[in-house]
Chains A and B, each alone.
Chain A
Protein backbone atom coordinates (compact mmCIF):
# COMPACT_ATOMS: atom_id res chain seq x y z
CA UNK A 1 0.00 0.00 0.00
CA UNK A 2 2.92 2.34 0.66
CA UNK A 3 4.15 1.88 -2.90
CA UNK A 4 0.69 2.62 -4.25
CA UNK A 5 0.40 5.77 -2.12
CA UNK A 6 3.81 6.97 -3.31
CA UNK A 7 2.95 6.27 -6.96
CA UNK A 8 -0.41 8.05 -6.66
CA UNK A 9 1.23 11.03 -4.97
CA UNK A 10 3.84 11.16 -7.71
CA UNK A 11 1.24 10.99 -10.49
CA UNK A 12 -0.89 13.66 -8.79
CA UNK A 13 2.20 15.88 -8.50
CA UNK A 14 3.01 15.48 -12.20
CA UNK A 15 -0.58 16.26 -13.24
CA UNK A 16 -0.76 19.36 -11.03
CA UNK A 17 2.66 20.50 -12.27
CA UNK A 18 1.57 20.12 -15.90
CA UNK A 19 -1.73 21.91 -15.27
CA UNK A 20 0.09 24.86 -13.70
CA UNK A 21 3.02 25.11 -16.12
CA UNK A 22 1.47 23.84 -19.38
CA UNK A 23 -2.14 25.01 -19.62
CA UNK A 24 -4.00 23.78 -22.68
CA UNK A 25 -4.50 26.20 -25.54
CA UNK A 26 -7.92 25.59 -27.05
CA UNK A 27 -11.48 26.88 -27.42
CA UNK A 28 -13.41 27.39 -24.21
CA UNK A 29 -16.91 28.51 -23.31
CA UNK A 30 -18.03 31.00 -20.70
CA UNK A 31 -19.50 29.18 -17.68
CA UNK A 32 -23.05 30.35 -18.51
CA UNK A 33 -22.72 28.75 -21.97
CA UNK A 34 -20.87 25.65 -20.76
CA UNK A 35 -23.82 24.55 -18.60
CA UNK A 36 -26.33 24.86 -21.46
CA UNK A 37 -26.70 21.09 -21.89
CA UNK A 38 -26.66 20.21 -18.18
CA UNK A 39 -29.74 18.01 -18.65
CA UNK A 40 -27.70 15.72 -20.90
CA UNK A 41 -25.15 15.38 -18.09
CA UNK A 42 -27.95 14.49 -15.67
CA UNK A 43 -29.33 11.85 -18.06
CA UNK A 44 -25.79 10.45 -18.50
CA UNK A 45 -25.23 10.32 -14.74
CA UNK A 46 -28.64 8.74 -14.10
CA UNK A 47 -28.18 6.11 -16.82
CA UNK A 48 -24.75 5.11 -15.60
CA UNK A 49 -25.87 5.19 -11.96
CA UNK A 50 -28.78 2.82 -12.70
CA UNK A 51 -26.57 0.43 -14.67
CA UNK A 52 -23.92 0.56 -11.93
CA UNK A 53 -26.48 -0.12 -9.22
CA UNK A 54 -27.94 -3.07 -11.16
CA UNK A 55 -24.45 -4.51 -11.72
CA UNK A 56 -23.56 -4.10 -8.05
CA UNK A 57 -26.86 -5.71 -6.99
CA UNK A 58 -26.39 -8.67 -9.37
CA UNK A 59 -22.79 -9.09 -8.24
CA UNK A 60 -23.69 -9.06 -4.56
CA UNK A 61 -26.56 -11.50 -5.18
CA UNK A 62 -24.24 -13.85 -7.05
CA UNK A 63 -21.75 -13.53 -4.21
CA UNK A 64 -24.37 -14.52 -1.60
CA UNK A 65 -25.50 -17.46 -3.75
CA UNK A 66 -21.96 -18.80 -4.02
CA UNK A 67 -21.59 -18.50 -0.25
Chain B
Protein backbone atom coordinates (compact mmCIF):
# COMPACT_ATOMS: atom_id res chain seq x y z
CA UNK B 1 0.00 0.00 0.00
CA UNK B 2 2.77 2.39 1.01
CA UNK B 3 4.80 1.49 -2.07
CA UNK B 4 1.79 2.17 -4.31
CA UNK B 5 1.33 5.57 -2.70
CA UNK B 6 4.98 6.42 -3.22
CA UNK B 7 4.81 5.43 -6.85
CA UNK B 8 1.54 7.17 -7.70
CA UNK B 9 3.02 10.65 -8.36
CA UNK B 10 5.78 9.05 -10.45
CA UNK B 11 3.27 7.14 -12.54
CA UNK B 12 1.16 10.28 -12.94
CA UNK B 13 4.23 12.26 -14.02
CA UNK B 14 5.06 9.62 -16.61
CA UNK B 15 1.49 9.75 -17.94
CA UNK B 16 1.74 13.53 -18.28
CA UNK B 17 5.15 13.28 -19.92
CA UNK B 18 3.75 10.91 -22.55
CA UNK B 19 1.50 13.70 -23.80
CA UNK B 20 4.54 15.60 -25.02
CA UNK B 21 6.18 15.12 -28.35
CA UNK B 22 9.75 16.32 -28.00
CA UNK B 23 12.14 15.09 -30.68
CA UNK B 24 15.34 14.03 -28.89
CA UNK B 25 17.68 15.50 -31.52
CA UNK B 26 15.82 18.80 -31.37
CA UNK B 27 16.07 18.91 -27.58
CA UNK B 28 19.82 18.18 -27.67
CA UNK B 29 20.29 20.86 -30.32
CA UNK B 30 18.32 23.36 -28.23
CA UNK B 31 20.36 22.57 -25.11
CA UNK B 32 23.62 23.06 -27.04
CA UNK B 33 22.52 26.29 -28.72
CA UNK B 34 21.05 27.64 -25.53
CA UNK B 35 24.29 27.07 -23.61
CA UNK B 36 26.45 28.44 -26.42
CA UNK B 37 24.35 31.58 -26.95
CA UNK B 38 24.04 32.20 -23.21
CA UNK B 39 27.80 31.91 -22.82
CA UNK B 40 28.38 34.18 -25.81
CA UNK B 41 26.00 36.72 -24.30
CA UNK B 42 27.95 36.68 -21.04
CA UNK B 43 31.29 37.07 -22.83
CA UNK B 44 29.94 39.92 -24.98
CA UNK B 45 28.58 41.64 -21.90
CA UNK B 46 24.97 41.73 -23.08
CA UNK B 47 22.37 43.13 -20.71
CA UNK B 48 20.43 40.66 -18.58
CA UNK B 49 17.45 40.58 -20.96
CA UNK B 50 19.78 39.89 -23.92
CA UNK B 51 21.37 36.91 -22.17
CA UNK B 52 17.94 35.60 -21.11
CA UNK B 53 16.66 35.94 -24.68
CA UNK B 54 19.74 34.15 -26.05
CA UNK B 55 19.14 31.26 -23.66
CA UNK B 56 15.41 31.05 -24.37
CA UNK B 57 15.29 31.56 -28.15
CA UNK B 58 16.57 28.08 -29.14
CA UNK B 59 13.69 26.55 -27.18
CA UNK B 60 10.95 28.29 -29.17
CA UNK B 61 10.97 25.85 -32.14
CA UNK B 62 10.79 22.88 -29.75
CA UNK B 63 7.97 24.50 -27.83
CA UNK B 64 6.14 25.24 -31.07
CA UNK B 65 6.50 21.65 -32.35
CA UNK B 66 5.29 20.28 -29.01
CA UNK B 67 2.33 22.65 -28.77
CA UNK B 68 1.13 22.11 -32.35
CA UNK B 69 1.49 18.35 -31.92
CA UNK B 70 -0.50 18.47 -28.67
CA UNK B 71 -3.20 20.58 -30.29
CA UNK B 72 -3.49 18.11 -33.16
CA UNK B 73 -3.75 15.12 -30.83
CA UNK B 74 -5.45 16.52 -27.73
CA UNK B 75 -7.30 19.65 -28.94
CA UNK B 76 -7.55 22.52 -26.47
CA UNK B 77 -5.02 20.84 -24.19
CA UNK B 78 -2.22 22.28 -26.37
CA UNK B 79 -3.50 25.81 -25.76
CA UNK B 80 -3.90 25.03 -22.05
CA UNK B 81 -0.25 23.97 -21.88
CA UNK B 82 0.94 27.06 -23.75
CA UNK B 83 -1.07 29.40 -21.52
CA UNK B 84 0.24 27.71 -18.37
CA UNK B 85 3.83 27.85 -19.60
CA UNK B 86 3.64 31.54 -20.54
CA UNK B 87 1.98 32.36 -17.25
CA UNK B 88 4.75 30.56 -15.38
CA UNK B 89 7.19 32.74 -17.36
CA UNK B 90 5.19 35.80 -16.32
CA UNK B 91 5.41 34.64 -12.70
CA UNK B 92 9.19 34.33 -13.08
CA UNK B 93 9.29 37.98 -14.18
CA UNK B 94 7.43 39.04 -11.03
CA UNK B 95 9.76 36.89 -8.95
CA UNK B 96 12.78 38.51 -10.60
CA UNK B 97 11.32 41.92 -9.84
CA UNK B 98 11.03 41.03 -6.15
CA UNK B 99 14.65 39.85 -6.06
CA UNK B 100 15.75 43.09 -7.73
CA UNK B 101 13.74 45.18 -5.25
CA UNK B 102 15.42 43.34 -2.41
CA UNK B 103 18.88 43.92 -3.89
CA UNK B 104 18.14 47.56 -4.81
CA UNK B 105 16.61 48.43 -1.41
CA UNK B 106 13.12 49.06 -2.84
CA UNK B 107 14.21 51.26 -5.75
CA UNK B 108 11.46 50.57 -8.27
CA UNK B 109 13.18 52.45 -11.09
CA UNK B 110 15.97 49.84 -11.06
CA UNK B 111 13.68 46.85 -10.59
CA UNK B 112 11.67 45.96 -13.68
CA UNK B 113 12.30 42.23 -13.95
CA UNK B 114 14.47 40.58 -16.61
CA UNK B 115 12.64 41.96 -19.63
CA UNK B 116 12.23 45.46 -18.21
CA UNK B 117 11.07 46.96 -21.51
CA UNK B 118 7.87 44.92 -21.17
CA UNK B 119 7.13 46.28 -17.71
CA UNK B 120 4.59 48.85 -18.90
CA UNK B 121 0.93 49.41 -18.11
CA UNK B 122 -0.03 48.66 -21.71
CA UNK B 123 1.72 45.27 -21.74
CA UNK B 124 0.31 44.37 -18.31
CA UNK B 125 -3.22 45.23 -19.44
CA UNK B 126 -3.22 43.32 -22.72
CA UNK B 127 -1.36 40.37 -21.23
CA UNK B 128 -3.94 40.06 -18.46
CA UNK B 129 -6.84 40.44 -20.88
CA UNK B 130 -5.32 37.59 -22.93
CA UNK B 131 -4.93 35.38 -19.86
CA UNK B 132 -8.39 36.21 -18.57
CA UNK B 133 -10.08 35.42 -21.89
CA UNK B 134 -7.91 32.31 -22.31
CA UNK B 135 -8.91 30.97 -18.90
CA UNK B 136 -12.56 31.81 -19.69
CA UNK B 137 -12.39 29.70 -22.86
CA UNK B 138 -10.81 26.83 -20.94
CA UNK B 139 -13.46 27.14 -18.27
CA UNK B 140 -16.25 26.99 -20.84
CA UNK B 141 -14.84 23.90 -22.50
CA UNK B 142 -13.20 22.05 -19.61
CA UNK B 143 -14.49 23.60 -16.38
CA UNK B 144 -17.04 20.91 -15.64
CA UNK B 145 -14.30 18.48 -14.68
CA UNK B 146 -11.65 20.88 -13.50
CA UNK B 147 -12.52 22.83 -10.33
CA UNK B 148 -9.09 24.49 -10.17
CA UNK B 149 -9.92 26.33 -13.39
CA UNK B 150 -12.70 28.13 -11.50
CA UNK B 151 -10.23 29.24 -8.85
CA UNK B 152 -7.82 30.50 -11.53
CA UNK B 153 -10.65 32.32 -13.33
CA UNK B 154 -11.86 34.12 -10.18
CA UNK B 155 -8.29 35.19 -9.35
CA UNK B 156 -7.76 36.36 -12.94
CA UNK B 157 -11.03 38.34 -12.78
CA UNK B 158 -10.02 40.20 -9.60
CA UNK B 159 -6.60 40.91 -11.13
CA UNK B 160 -8.35 42.16 -14.28
CA UNK B 161 -10.38 44.78 -12.35
CA UNK B 162 -7.13 46.23 -11.06
CA UNK B 163 -5.54 46.39 -14.52
CA UNK B 164 -8.69 47.80 -16.11
CA UNK B 165 -8.54 50.72 -13.64
CA UNK B 166 -4.78 51.17 -14.01
CA UNK B 167 -4.91 51.16 -17.81
CA UNK B 168 -7.73 53.72 -17.81
CA UNK B 169 -5.68 56.06 -15.63
CA UNK B 170 -2.55 55.48 -17.71
CA UNK B 171 -4.35 56.38 -20.96
CA UNK B 172 -6.77 59.12 -19.89
CA UNK B 173 -5.16 60.58 -16.74
CA UNK B 174 -1.41 60.00 -17.14
CA UNK B 175 -0.41 62.77 -14.70
CA UNK B 176 -2.53 61.25 -11.98
CA UNK B 177 -1.14 57.80 -12.79
CA UNK B 178 2.46 59.08 -12.56
CA UNK B 179 1.81 61.00 -9.33
CA UNK B 180 0.85 57.82 -7.46
CA UNK B 181 -2.33 56.58 -9.12
CA UNK B 182 -0.26 53.61 -10.35
CA UNK B 183 -0.84 52.10 -6.90
CA UNK B 184 -4.24 51.03 -8.26
CA UNK B 185 -7.21 49.95 -6.19
CA UNK B 186 -5.86 47.57 -3.55
CA UNK B 187 -2.20 48.64 -3.62
CA UNK B 188 -0.76 50.70 -0.77
CA UNK B 189 -1.71 54.31 -1.47
CA UNK B 190 -4.51 53.22 -3.81
CA UNK B 191 -8.31 53.60 -3.54
CA UNK B 192 -8.79 50.88 -0.92
CA UNK B 193 -5.17 51.06 0.18
CA UNK B 194 -4.21 47.62 1.45
CA UNK B 195 -0.84 47.32 3.22
CA UNK B 196 1.00 45.82 0.21
CA UNK B 197 2.91 48.01 -2.24
CA UNK B 198 2.02 47.47 -5.90
CA UNK B 199 4.91 45.10 -6.85
CA UNK B 200 4.19 42.86 -3.84
CA UNK B 201 0.43 42.96 -4.40
CA UNK B 202 0.76 42.04 -8.06
CA UNK B 203 3.16 39.24 -7.22
CA UNK B 204 0.45 37.91 -4.88
CA UNK B 205 -2.21 38.31 -7.60
CA UNK B 206 -0.09 36.31 -10.00
CA UNK B 207 0.65 33.61 -7.46
CA UNK B 208 -3.08 33.19 -6.80
CA UNK B 209 -3.68 33.01 -10.55
CA UNK B 210 -0.78 30.87 -11.72
CA UNK B 211 -0.73 28.15 -9.06
CA UNK B 212 -4.39 27.11 -9.57
CA UNK B 213 -3.81 27.26 -13.34
CA UNK B 214 -0.80 24.95 -13.06
CA UNK B 215 -2.74 22.52 -10.84
CA UNK B 216 -5.68 22.64 -13.27
CA UNK B 217 -3.29 21.84 -16.14
CA UNK B 218 -1.88 18.90 -14.20
CA UNK B 219 -5.40 17.59 -13.53
CA UNK B 220 -6.33 18.06 -17.19
CA UNK B 221 -3.26 16.08 -18.23
CA UNK B 222 -4.78 13.06 -16.54
CA UNK B 223 -8.12 13.45 -18.34
CA UNK B 224 -7.12 13.98 -21.97
CA UNK B 225 -7.30 11.39 -24.69
CA UNK B 226 -6.00 11.26 -28.23
CA UNK B 227 -8.53 12.56 -30.78
CA UNK B 228 -7.41 10.06 -33.44
CA UNK B 229 -7.92 7.21 -31.00
CA UNK B 230 -11.43 8.52 -30.30
CA UNK B 231 -12.17 8.79 -34.03
CA UNK B 232 -10.94 5.26 -34.66
CA UNK B 233 -12.88 3.79 -31.71
CA UNK B 234 -15.99 5.90 -31.14
CA UNK B 235 -17.54 3.12 -29.08
CA UNK B 236 -14.98 3.50 -26.26
CA UNK B 237 -15.94 5.44 -23.15
CA UNK B 238 -13.91 8.51 -22.14
CA UNK B 239 -12.33 6.56 -19.28
CA UNK B 240 -11.23 3.82 -21.70
CA UNK B 241 -9.87 6.41 -24.14
CA UNK B 242 -7.85 8.10 -21.36
CA UNK B 243 -6.45 4.75 -20.22
CA UNK B 244 -5.57 3.71 -23.79
CA UNK B 245 -3.96 7.11 -24.56
CA UNK B 246 -1.39 6.61 -21.79
CA UNK B 247 -0.31 3.39 -23.55
CA UNK B 248 0.06 4.81 -27.06
CA UNK B 249 3.40 4.90 -28.84
CA UNK B 250 4.08 7.08 -31.85
CA UNK B 251 5.79 6.07 -35.04
CA UNK B 252 6.63 8.28 -37.99
CA UNK B 253 7.12 6.89 -41.48
CA UNK B 254 8.62 8.67 -44.48
CA UNK B 255 6.64 8.81 -47.71
CA UNK B 256 6.93 5.42 -49.42
CA UNK B 257 8.18 3.78 -46.23
CA UNK B 258 7.02 0.28 -45.31
CA UNK B 259 5.52 -0.39 -41.95
CA UNK B 260 6.71 -3.82 -40.94
CA UNK B 261 3.78 -5.40 -39.21
CA UNK B 262 4.62 -7.88 -36.49
CA UNK B 263 3.73 -11.40 -37.67
CA UNK B 264 0.42 -12.74 -36.45
CA UNK B 265 0.77 -14.92 -33.38
CA UNK B 266 3.56 -12.89 -31.82
CA UNK B 267 1.66 -9.86 -30.73
CA UNK B 268 -1.64 -8.04 -30.94
CA UNK B 269 -1.46 -4.42 -31.92
CA UNK B 270 -3.64 -1.67 -33.23
CA UNK B 271 -2.18 0.90 -35.60
CA UNK B 272 -4.05 4.20 -35.84
CA UNK B 273 -3.19 6.64 -38.60
CA UNK B 274 -2.83 10.14 -37.11
CA UNK B 275 -1.20 11.90 -40.06
CA UNK B 276 -0.74 11.19 -43.77
CA UNK B 277 -2.10 8.15 -45.66
CA UNK B 278 -1.30 4.47 -45.39
CA UNK B 279 -2.00 1.87 -48.09
CA UNK B 280 -2.94 -1.44 -46.48
CA UNK B 281 -2.76 -4.69 -48.46
CA UNK B 282 -4.92 -7.56 -47.19
CA UNK B 283 -5.15 -11.15 -48.33
CA UNK B 284 -8.19 -13.35 -47.92
CA UNK B 285 -8.32 -17.13 -47.45
CA UNK B 286 -8.20 -17.65 -51.22
CA UNK B 287 -5.00 -15.63 -51.59
CA UNK B 288 -6.73 -12.68 -53.26
CA UNK B 289 -5.22 -9.34 -52.31
CA UNK B 290 -7.01 -6.03 -51.88
CA UNK B 291 -5.69 -2.60 -51.03
CA UNK B 292 -7.39 0.02 -48.92
CA UNK B 293 -6.28 3.54 -48.12
CA UNK B 294 -6.31 4.56 -44.47
CA UNK B 295 -6.54 8.23 -43.48
CA UNK B 296 -6.19 9.96 -40.10
CA UNK B 297 -8.56 8.48 -37.55
CA UNK B 298 -8.66 5.07 -39.26
CA UNK B 299 -7.03 1.98 -37.82
CA UNK B 300 -6.02 -1.59 -38.48
CA UNK B 301 -5.04 -4.32 -36.07
CA UNK B 302 -2.77 -7.32 -36.10
CA UNK B 303 -4.36 -10.16 -34.22
CA UNK B 304 -2.93 -13.39 -32.90
CA UNK B 305 -5.88 -15.13 -34.50
CA UNK B 306 -6.76 -13.47 -37.80
CA UNK B 307 -10.53 -13.04 -38.18
CA UNK B 308 -12.28 -14.95 -41.01
CA UNK B 309 -9.04 -16.14 -42.52
CA UNK B 310 -7.97 -12.64 -43.58
CA UNK B 311 -4.51 -11.32 -42.88
CA UNK B 312 -2.51 -8.18 -43.58
CA UNK B 313 0.32 -8.52 -46.02
CA UNK B 314 1.85 -5.08 -45.90
CA UNK B 315 1.29 -1.45 -45.03
CA UNK B 316 3.02 1.40 -46.81
CA UNK B 317 2.95 5.12 -46.14
CA UNK B 318 1.64 6.91 -49.23
CA UNK B 319 2.60 10.26 -47.70
CA UNK B 320 4.85 11.09 -44.77
CA UNK B 321 2.74 9.59 -42.01
CA UNK B 322 2.42 9.23 -38.30
CA UNK B 323 0.87 6.21 -36.63
CA UNK B 324 -0.17 5.53 -33.07
CA UNK B 325 0.52 2.03 -31.85
CA UNK B 326 -1.54 0.47 -29.14
CA UNK B 327 -0.16 -2.74 -27.73
CA UNK B 328 -3.07 -4.85 -26.66
CA UNK B 329 -3.14 -6.68 -23.38
CA UNK B 330 -2.72 -10.44 -23.55
CA UNK B 331 -2.30 -13.26 -21.03
CA UNK B 332 1.34 -12.39 -20.50
CA UNK B 333 0.55 -8.73 -19.82
CA UNK B 334 1.79 -5.86 -21.96
CA UNK B 335 4.51 -6.43 -24.50
CA UNK B 336 7.83 -4.89 -23.55
CA UNK B 337 9.59 -4.91 -26.87
CA UNK B 338 8.63 -2.91 -29.87
CA UNK B 339 9.49 -4.96 -32.87
CA UNK B 340 7.59 -2.89 -35.37
CA UNK B 341 10.27 -1.22 -37.42
CA UNK B 342 10.22 1.22 -40.24
CA UNK B 343 12.28 1.02 -43.38
CA UNK B 344 12.57 3.80 -45.85
CA UNK B 345 11.95 2.98 -49.44
Known interface pairs A25-B106, A29-B189. Does A36 touch B176 (Cβ–Cβ under 8 Å)?
Answer: yes
Interface positions, chain B 124-149, Cβ under 8 Å from A, are: 136, 139-141, 143-144
- The reply to whether A55 and B139 form a contact with Cβ atoms under 8 Å apart is yes
Interface positions, chain B 92-128, Cβ under 8 Å from A, are: 98, 101-102, 105-108
- The reply to whether A34 and B189 form a contact with Cβ atoms under 8 Å apart is yes
- The reply to whether A23 and B197 form a contact with Cβ atoms under 8 Å apart is yes
Which residues of A lie under 8 Å from residue B139 when comparing CB positions?
A: 55-56, 59
Closest partner residue, chain B, to A21 (CB atom): B102
- The reply to whether A24 and B180 form a contact with Cβ atoms under 8 Å apart is no
- The reply to whether B207 and A18 form a contact with Cβ atoms under 8 Å apart is no
Counting residue pairs across A and B whose Cβ atoms lie within 8 Å, the total is 115
* Separation of A37 and B204 alpha carbons in the complex (Å): 24
Chain B CB within 10 Å, residue with most, of A7, A45, A48 = A48
- The reply to whether B196 and A48 form a contact with Cβ atoms under 8 Å apart is no
- The reply to whether A59 and B143 form a contact with Cβ atoms under 8 Å apart is yes
- The reply to whether B102 and A48 form a contact with Cβ atoms under 8 Å apart is no
Interface bits B150-193 vs A (CB < 8 Å: 1, else 0): 00011001001110110011000100101111010100111101
Size category of the B interface is 35 or more
Say yes or no: is A41 at the interface (Cβ < 8 Å to chain B): yes
Which residues of B lie under 8 Å from residue A2 when comparing CB positions?
A: none
- The reply to whether B189 and A48 form a contact with Cβ atoms under 8 Å apart is no
Interface positions, chain A 1-38, Cβ under 8 Å from B, are: 4, 7-8, 11-12, 14-15, 18-19, 22-29, 31, 33-38
The secondary structure that dominates the B interface is helix
- The reply to whether B106 and A24 form a contact with Cβ atoms under 8 Å apart is yes
- The reply to whether B203 and A15 form a contact with Cβ atoms under 8 Å apart is yes
Which residues of B lie under 8 Å from residue A31 when comparing CB positions?
A: 193
Closest partner residue, chain B, to A25 (CB atom): B106
- The reply to whether B200 and A37 form a contact with Cβ atoms under 8 Å apart is no
Closest approach, in angstroms, between the C-beta of B94 and any C-beta of chain A? 11
* Separation of A43 and B297 alpha carbons in the complex (Å): 49
- The reply to whether B98 and A34 form a contact with Cβ atoms under 8 Å apart is no
Known interface pairs A29-B183, A34-B190, A34-B193. Does A44 touch B98 (Cβ–Cβ under 8 Å)?
Answer: no
Residues in chain B within 8 A of chain A (CB atoms): 98, 101-102, 105-108, 136, 139-141, 143-144, 153-154, 157, 160-162, 164-165, 168-169, 173, 176, 178-181, 183, 185, 188-191, 193, 195-200, 203-204, 207, 211, 215
Q: Can you spell out 22 A-B residue pairs with CB atoms less than 8 angstroms apart?
A: A15-B196, A18-B101, A18-B102, A24-B108, A24-B200, A25-B108, A34-B180, A37-B176, A38-B191, A40-B168, A40-B169, A44-B165, A44-B168, A45-B161, A47-B164, A48-B161, A49-B157, A52-B153, A52-B154, A55-B153, A59-B144, A63-B144
